[in-house]
Amino acid sequence: MNKNAVIKDIDELTDTYCTDCPIKKVLRSNRGKSGAHRFCIESCSIGEKLQFLGNELMKMHERR
């Protein structure tokens, strides 16, 4: 997988699932931005995929 493919996958995931996420909207109003962000990082399956892809980008950057 190359850098552009990973970035495209990240964009597709966020556009498809995160932009209009109803859970994120409720959590932002109840817990604030950082509380919603914490949920996305720790509990959301899409957040896990995004973390994986982000780690892949970091590995690519380190290989340079």
Q: Which residue has the tokens 């962000």?
A: 37
Per-residue confidence (pLDDT) for residue 19, from 0 to 100: 94
Asked if residue 58 lies in contact with residue 14, where contact means CB atoms within 8 angstroms, the answer is no
Q: Are 27 and 39 in contact (CB under 8 A)?
A: yes
The CA distance from 30 to 24, in Å, is 10
Q: In this model, does residue 63 exceed pLDDT 90?
A: no
For the chain, what are the domain ranges?
3-63
Looking up tokens 């892809």 gives 53
Mean residue pLDDT across the chain: 95
Contact of 42 with 2, CB cutoff 8 Å: no
Q: Is the pTM of this model over 0.95?
A: no
